[in-house]
Amino acid sequence: MVRSTTLVAAAAALSLHAHAESLYSKKSAVVQITGPEYDRVIAKSNYTSILEFYAPWCGHCKNLQPQYEKAAKSLAGIAKVAAVNCDEEINKPFCGKMGVQGFPTLKIIRPGKKPGKPTVEEYQGQRQAKAIVDIVKDKIPNIVKRITDPKLDDWLEENKESAKAILFSDKGLVSATLRTLAIDFAGIVNVAQIRKTEAAAVEKYGITAFPSLILIPAGSSEPIKYDGEINKESMVKFLSQIAPPNPDCPAPKAKKPKAKKDDKSKESKASSKFSKASASHKSDEASSAATSAAHETLEEATKPTESPTPEDFVEDTKISEEIETKPSLLSLVESSDLQASCLNEKSTTCILALLPKDETSEAATKAVASLASIHKKHDVRQTNLFPFFSVPATNPLSATIITELSLDNAEQVHLIAVHGKRAWYKKYTGKAFDATSVEQWVDGIRMGEGTKERLPESLLGSTKKEDTPEHGEL
């Protein structure tokens, strides 16, 4: 008798525990979803989402929680930050179907080509708010048209019938905020970005400050200038004078029963549909179903599935810390290193800093620091940026490059971009070597802007590399 009472109490405590211990409070900026809600709230949304699969008892999940909350706050209005508690019965089939094998697992889900069929990929970055924010922002699709002076009239003509918004910016890349704004107003307002350097467009609309946003209603040529702050919420309000933005996801079906926790029939249907749930999840289900299981037993049975801190994650941290304390670039000391990395018929874009004899000269130090900081920024965001190298003056090939490309003034540091496969190069013509102007130059290369000069074949040695990894270029 005593024994069975204890069992009943244990079972009650167990089920209470399972529901009470959600890692995120109701007020949290983290959207908490259940498996059955995934399709509507995440998969069919036009937004990019990050979804955490967690278990309340998992230590790494608890460590992530404050960082994840922080990421959710800074991504508000830009991307969805969501979480699903895989310990809840209703979510187990879903977690299994998504291939979750340990906690926490983070996946980035963004709209695919077909509506409702999103692209899902595992998030492998650092479990820190900043890395999460940067990487998620980077994944947001871009439907903002980048317009140059010669293309402006055509674009205005093509979109005569619809409202248009143009952001004038001194940057070439389209920010996450503008990308999301364009998604919010897809089919309502056509959004474009024009760079400060497009003098005719800047003049046409009398733009004097950057960034500046203008709205051109359908059938009008009179732009309405926006004088608010460049933030998502106020820009949405401004564009809403045309029409309200798209809904963030389809509305729930009216028939859907309100019952939240114990919708048994739905739950069992879901389980049979996703019978492929992983073995570990099956055993979770079995152990939590056994009313005699004590809390500790449950914890013990499930604990081994907790995600260890991935090793490359630890390594990443080390690398970025190193760069933080001492900005440096990988150095190509030998001719053969340079040839194998950047100057062969298969090599793709490389940025080279050809250093003068005096590597501590002000220009050289500045150039290297600028490149290192730009690369670090991209590493943190996990964008694929082509590699940056420094080449000491003692590398015999350095002098050859300087002569062949007639780079004047051998005392100075030279920054060049080379693409072996396509046999072009571009040089940095600025004098300052500060991070901003060097970054503008790098961005121009990423965007394929500006003129490229032909790389003399004599610089492309015949070293055939087996498989040069493709570095991402926009």
Ligand X SMILES: *[C@@H]1O[C@H](CO)[C@@H](O)[C@H](O)[C@H]1NC(C)=O
Question: Which spans of this chain sit near ligand X (rule: CB under 6 A)?
Answer: 46, 186-187, 246-247, 249-250
CB of 80 to ligand X, least distance (A): 12
For ligand X, give the closer residue by CB, 53 or 185: 185
Sheet strands (E) in 7-161: 31-32, 49-54, 80-85, 105-110, 119-122, 145-147
**Cβ pair 166, 193 in contact under 8 A:** yes
CA distances from 299 to 4, 18, 289, 343 (A): 22, 11, 13, 56
Per DSSP, the three-state class of 436 is helix
CB of 186 to ligand X, least distance (A): 4
Backbone phi, psi, residue 51, to 5°: -125, 125
For ligand X, give the closer residue by CB, 173 or 186: 186
CB of 178 to ligand X, least distance (A): 16
CB of 39 to ligand X, least distance (A): 12
For ligand X, give the closer residue by CB, 186 or 423: 186
CB of 450 to ligand X, least distance (A): 33
For ligand X, give the closer residue by CB, 244 or 456: 244
For ligand X, give the closer residue by CB, 187 or 219: 187
Crossing angle of helices 362-381 and 129-139, in 10° steps, is 80
For ligand X, give the closer residue by CB, 47 or 123: 47
Backbone phi, psi, residue 146, to 5°: -95, 120
CB of 118 to ligand X, least distance (A): 12
**Cβ pair 91, 38 in contact under 8 A:** no
For ligand X, give the closer residue by CB, 66 or 247: 247
CB of 301 to ligand X, least distance (A): 40
Q: What is the largest CA-CA distance in the chain?
A: 95
For ligand X, give the closer residue by CB, 249 or 354: 249
**By C-alpha distance, which of 100, 96, 243, 257 is closest to 184?**
243
Return the structure tokens found at 327.
């900005």
CB of 306 to ligand X, least distance (A): 35
CB of 320 to ligand X, least distance (A): 36
CB of 183 to ligand X, least distance (A): 7
Strands 119-122 and 105-110 come out as antiparallel
Backbone phi, psi, residue 190, to 5°: -80, 125
- One-letter amino acid for residue 448 of the chain: G
CB of 111 to ligand X, least distance (A): 8
For ligand X, give the closer residue by CB, 183 or 445: 183
For ligand X, give the closer residue by CB, 46 or 347: 46
For ligand X, give the closer residue by CB, 2 or 254: 254
For ligand X, give the closer residue by CB, 129 or 188: 188
CB of 142 to ligand X, least distance (A): 13
